[in-house]
Structure 1
Amino acid sequence: MSYLPDSVAAMKATKAVKSVLHVGVLATVLSLSVSSFAPLAQANSDDPDYFRVKMDKGGTLNVRKNPSLKAQKVGALQAETNGIVNLGCHIGMPYLEWRNSTTAIRKVETRRKWCNIEYNGMTGWTAGQYLEADLPE
């Protein structure tokens, strides 16, 4: 009967190892989830700190709640507006929305650079193709 305490100890050790593995896997999944949103939260070091709208006079650039053509419009910027704060840019819309879109929207969104911006208290996303580097006001 002396083997019983050894087998109980082995079972406890196995449970402890499984618990550590579960915690490690959970931590990895959480870190990957958080890191996938990191590009949305901060500007890339290659991007400028400030933008200006790169359009001919009379044009307006829509600002949207989310980085998508389908997202609610929260405002607009006039052509040649400057001093727009860059909060970070990324390419294309979120994957699930892209997957459920039409082929035409998929083609546009694959090439579209979305930039999260702030200007005079308005915060939102706009098409990066209409922005260029600017100096702070």
Structure 2
Amino acid sequence: MNVTWSGNLRDISAITALILAGSVWAGAVLAEADGPDYFRVVDVVSNDVLNIRAAPTARAAKIGAIPPDGDGILNHGCINQMSYAQWQAASPAEREKARKRVWCEISYRGIRGWVAGWFLAEGNAP
């Protein structure tokens, strides 16, 4: 697409709209690449819960809980994840150790907070 500027403010608006549309589209692609939209709980025993914390640490205040069969947990993003290159270069022991450092910011039934990422897998929309 060739765009030439004639000194007209309408041209600037059109160019700005194209840039913004491209940014929104690129953001959508990046968000999809960052993981699933929704999680479900895994590896939590039937008489326990997955704690929702105020910050990404086990020492942070507990602000909620998700049952062991919880699903439809909205993903806001995770931290401390290995890159694919790091994962490829890591030993199985290093991969397991790194897995236990992942924390994910989530929303579940009106509560937004952090959960231990090693108890999450791809889930379904509520």
Alpha-carbon RMSD across the aligned residues, in angstroms, is 2.3
Alignment correspondent of 1:124: 113
Query: 86, 111, 114: which is aligned to 2:75?
Result: 86
3-state SS of 1:132 partner? strand
Runs of 4+ in 1 over 2 A off after TM superposition: 108-111
Structure ID, larger Rg: 1
3-state SS of 1:56 partner? coil
Against the structure 1 CA distance between its residues 68 and 109, is the aligned structure 2 distance closer, same or farther, given a 3 Å change threshold?
Answer: farther
Structure 1 residue 135, shift from structure 2 partner:
1.8
Deviations along 1:49-103, whole A, 9 cap, x unmatched?
A: 00011123222111100001111110111101000000000118xxxxxxxxxxx
**Structure 2: runs of 5+ lacking an equivalent:** 1-29, 82-96
Against the structure 1 CA distance between its residues 112 and 43, is the aligned structure 2 distance closer, same or farther, given a 3 Å change threshold?
Answer: farther
Alignment correspondent of 1:53: 41
Against the structure 1 CA distance between its residues 67 and 58, is the aligned structure 2 distance closer, same or farther, given a 3 Å change threshold?
Answer: same
Against the structure 1 CA distance between its residues 90 and 53, is the aligned structure 2 distance closer, same or farther, given a 3 Å change threshold?
Answer: same
Comparing 122-131 and 52-61, the one that deviates more: 52-61
Matched, 1:73 2:62: yes
In percent, how many aligned pairs have the same letter? 40
Against the structure 1 CA distance between its residues 110 and 81, is the aligned structure 2 distance closer, same or farther, given a 3 Å change threshold?
Answer: closer
Select the structure that is richer in helix: 1
Structure 1 residue 45, shift from structure 2 partner:
1.8
Alignment correspondent of 1:135: 124
One-letter code aligned to 1:47? G
Deviations along 1:5-33, whole A, 9 cap, x unmatched?
A: xxxxxxxxxxxxxxxxxxxxxxxxxxxxx
